[in-house]
Structures are given as C-alpha cells and as structure tokens.
C-alpha cells in the first residue's frame, strides 16, 4: 500500500467518532484537518493502537466549543489560551487547535494570534515531517513537502533552524529525539549546528520539560549514538564509556528507559540527576533497582537477584553484560542460570520471631535480615524450622 493510501484506510480516521468530529468542524470543507504525528506515522506505517489525534482548524476555540455542544460532543478547554480544546466522543479523544501565528516569542512562551492561513500555520511548526495534514477523506495536505523528508528519515527544521529554536528552545531536545525516532540517528547538519549554537542559551527551560523529553528519548529502541551526539555539543553529560555501554545494551536488544537512566546516572549522586530533570521518585526507583540488580549479577549472585528483584533481574543481567562487555557464551550461561532459579518465599516472618520472644522493633528487624541472609546463602534450602533453630533469642 502506498503511503498516501494508508491515510484513507487508517483505522483512526475511518472511526465513526473521528468522522463525526470532522463533520461537526466542517472537515468536509477543508476547515479542519488532522495534523502532526498521527498523519506522519500513518504515512510511515507506524500506526499505534489508539493514537493521539491532533486536529488543526480555522474555527476559533469558541466556535469549536459551540459546534461540539450542538453535536453532543464533550469538550474540555485544556489549552484555551493557545487555542486548544479537547473533544471526546465515545472513547475517541481529539485535541483541536485553532490555526495560529506567533506574535511574540522568548524561547519558552509564545504569544499567538489565531489565523486562517494553513501555510502560515505549517511554517510555525518545528520540523517538516511534522507539518503534514490530512483531510477528513484521507487526502494528504503537505504545504512544505514534508512527506519526502518523513519517508527518507530526514529531520529538518522548517525554514531557518536558529529561528525555530529561538521560538521554543525545547526544540533542541526535540531535534535529537526525532532524529533518533524517525531519522535513524542521523543528524541534519544545519539543525545540528543550530542546536550546538543554542546550548549555552537553554537555562530558562524548565527542568520538567527537559526531563520529559529525555525520558521519551530513553524509551526509544536506538538512542546511544544520539546521546553521544548530544554530549558532544555539551547538551548532556555522558562520557564515551557510558555511550559504549548503551550501545552494547542496544545490541542485546534492550531499550527500557529505566536501564538507560541507570547508565546515565552512573556513579553520580542520584539526587543530582533527579533534580536536574525533575524526575519522579518512581522513575528514579526503577533505575536504581536495575542498577542494584546489575551489581548482584556482576557478583554472580543470580539467585539473590532473582529473589530480590523478580523480572527486573533480567534487565540487571542485560546491564551487567553491557557494562562488562560479556562474550555471548557468558551471557547465555548466565541467562540460563537466571531462568532456572526457582523462587520460593522467605519461610519465616517477624511474627515467628516475636513468637520466640524477640520484641518488635529494630532488633527484630535486624535478626530477620540476618536469617534471610543465611537462607539466601544456603541457596534457599533451609526450611522454617532450620532457620528458627538459628535465631538468636
């Protein structure tokens, strides 16, 4: 199927709810079009289940809301200051944004005015492969020729790269993310040069926005070369050894964000990285758990890694192998050993020790941990009675 034929046959577009939203917003008259990622990835046969549907329209936000009300479509003013209204019909969500033109920008916030010029709307977007629109009937509208860049894996800024970055400095990070996700980790020279020139001018960006981009990058299949390129221009801190580890990890087929983050943290204080990118405690715990599992694997404590970390031990094994440059036979042997571990629950509890007369508190916890250590060192062989016999009452 040709790329443009995929649009007309796309599930998200043919969905009755999507067509009803188009109909309410004059999609048949070309006044509302799908735009951005859902169009781009459909053309590239990279559709996801229930993708985000972004619509661009010449209708003002007030008109969008009025049309939604008249047609029984739920509406939410999720970004009304910038012309965005989210519509919901059934289980289908569509984020509808009125065409805009920038009046003033400071690299972080933009003052916009609503417009009706599709070419002007396209010109204010970031990359040519994101300025792709789709009519209600699936016809491609491509005012900037972005389809050729999309199909050939070229991530190019629209117009002057430095100007696009000046409008929103986060586009420096987005350039690298899209170069990894849609550009085969090849970098447009003009875009790369503009990003390098902007590195010293990004202090105003919020840590949350940067951290969100970083985490989205870390979840991509191939990112090592991209992170290396970012480090080369001073955008992030990562040395050649860690880039090598990340590349080895990818060669093993791994691409979880937690493991990549564990590599980026390395031997730095975790709180420094967390603060730098405003990462959640949950995200940090996931990375630290993988790192702890990898440390146990490196010490040939596979049984304990499986017991303490469950399925995360597999990621720990991959990280240990990548960091240590393991040969395939060593990795295969370790993987077999890990798969053969028979997990059983620790056979005693604090109540058992309390029954022996140990008072609840720190001493009981310490004794429970000591007995757990003995049990692990026995290869999980000691049963409840044998362990309680060794309790220090």
> What value does the mean pLDDT take over residues 29-54?
93
41 pLDDT above the threshold of 90: yes
393 pLDDT above the threshold of 90: no
Residue 235: helix, strand or coil by DSSP? Answer: coil
The pLDDT > 70 percentage for the chain reads 97
Find the radius of gyration of the CA atoms of the chain: 27
pTM: 0.88
Position 357 scores a pLDDT of 87
Position 62 scores a pLDDT of 94
Position 264 scores a pLDDT of 95
- Token code pair at residue 308: 């303490």
**Mind listing the pLDDT tens digit for each residue in 62-106?**
999 999 999 999 999 988 888 999 999 999 999 999 998 766 555
Looking at the chain, the domain(s) classified CATH 3.30.460.10 span 1-152
- Asked if 168 and 183 count as a contact pair (C-beta separation under 8 A), the reply is no
- Token code pair at residue 49: 């289940």
Position 4 scores a pLDDT of 87
Fold of 1-152: Beta Polymerase; domain 2 (3.30.460)
Position 111 scores a pLDDT of 63
Measure the CA–CA gap between 97 and 79, rounded to whole angstroms: 9
107 pLDDT above the threshold of 70: no
Position 128 scores a pLDDT of 97
- Token code pair at residue 215: 């985490």
Position 109 scores a pLDDT of 55
Beta strands in the chain, from DSSP E residues, in sequence order:
32-35, 53-57, 74-79, 84-89, 92-98, 100-105, 110-114, 133-134, 140-141
Please count the other Cβ atoms lying within 10 Å of the Cβ belonging to residue 108.
14
Measure the CA–CA gap between 276 and 307, rounded to whole angstroms: 33
- Asked if 276 and 207 count as a contact pair (C-beta separation under 8 A), the reply is yes
Position 129 scores a pLDDT of 97
Position 78 scores a pLDDT of 87
| Mean of pLDDT over the chain | 93
Bridge partners, 171 (sequence order): none
**Mind listing the pLDDT tens digit for each residue in 126-147?**
999 999 999 999 999 999 999 9
Chain centre to alpha carbon of residue 294? 22
* pLDDT band of 149, cuts 50, 70, 90: very high
Strands of the 53-57 sheet, one edge to the other: 74-79, 84-89, 92-98, 53-57, 32-35, 133-134, 140-141
Measure the CA–CA gap between 19 and 119, rounded to whole angstroms: 24
Residue 342: helix, strand or coil by DSSP? Answer: coil
* pLDDT band of 282, cuts 50, 70, 90: very high
Question: DSSP characters for 265-330?
Answer: HTTS-HHHHHHHHT--HHHHHHHHHHHHHHHHHHTT-HHHHHHHHTTHHHHHHHHHHHHHT--HHH
56 pLDDT above the threshold of 90: yes
**Mind listing the pLDDT tens digit for each residue in 244-265?**
999 999 999 988 999 999 999 9
389 pLDDT above the threshold of 60: yes
- Asked if 32 and 68 count as a contact pair (C-beta separation under 8 A), the reply is no
**Mind listing the pLDDT tens digit for each residue in 173-231?**
999 999 999 999 999 999 999 999 999 999 999 999 999 999 999 999 999 999 999 99
Position 105 scores a pLDDT of 59
Measure the CA–CA gap between 58 and 99, rounded to whole angstroms: 6
Bridge partners, 141 (sequence order): 133
| Residue 108, phi then psi, degrees to nearest 5 | -130, -50
């Amino acid at each position: 199927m040709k790329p443009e034929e995929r649009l007309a046959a796309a599930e998200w577009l043919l969905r009755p709810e999507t067509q009803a939203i188009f109909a309410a917003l004059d999609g048949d008259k070309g006044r509302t079009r799908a735009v951005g990622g859902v169009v781009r990835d459909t053309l590239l046969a990279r559709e996801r289940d229930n993708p985000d549907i972004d619509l661009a329209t010449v209708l003002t936000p007030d008109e969008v809301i009025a049309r939604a009300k008249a047609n029984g479509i739920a509406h939410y003013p999720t970004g009304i200051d910038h012309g965005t209204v989210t519509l919901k019909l059934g289980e289908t969500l569509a984020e509808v944004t009125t065409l805009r033109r920038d009046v003033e920008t400071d690299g972080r916030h933009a003052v916009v005015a609503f417009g009706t010029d599709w070419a002007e709307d396209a010109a204010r977007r970031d990359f040519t492969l994101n300025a792709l629109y789709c009519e209600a009937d699936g016809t491609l509208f491509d005012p900037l020729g972005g389809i050729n860049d999309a199909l050939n894996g070229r991530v190019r800024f629209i117009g002057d790269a430095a100007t696009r970055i000046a409008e929103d400095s986060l586009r420096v990070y987005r350039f690298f993310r899209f170069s990894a996700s849609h550009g085969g980790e090849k970098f447009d020279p003009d875009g790369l040069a503009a990003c390098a020139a902007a590195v010293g001018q990004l202090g105003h960006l919020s840590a949350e926005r940067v951290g969100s981009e970083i985490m989205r990058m870390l979840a991509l299949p191939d990112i090592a070369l991209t992170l290396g390129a970012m480090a080369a221009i001073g955008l992030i801190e990562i040395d050649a050894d860690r880039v090598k580890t990340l590349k080895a990890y990818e060669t093993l087929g791994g691409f979880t964000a937690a493991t990549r983050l564990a590599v980026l943290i390395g031997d730095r204080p975790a709180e420094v990285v967390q603060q730098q990118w405003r990462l959640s405690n949950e995200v940090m715990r996931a990375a630290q758990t993988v790192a702890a599992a990898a440390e146990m694997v490196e010490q040939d404590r596979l049984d304990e890694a499986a017991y303490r970390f469950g399925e995360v031990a597999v990621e720990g094994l991959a990280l240990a192998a990548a960091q240590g440059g393991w040969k395939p036979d060593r990795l295969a042997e370790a993987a077999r050993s890990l798969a053969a571990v028979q997990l059983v629950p620790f056979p005693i509890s604090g109540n058992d020790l309390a029954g022996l007369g140990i008072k609840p508190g720190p001493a009981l916890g310490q004794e429970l941990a000591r007995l757990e250590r003995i049990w692990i060192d026995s290869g999980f062989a000691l049963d409840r009675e044998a362990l309680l016999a060794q309790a220090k009452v």
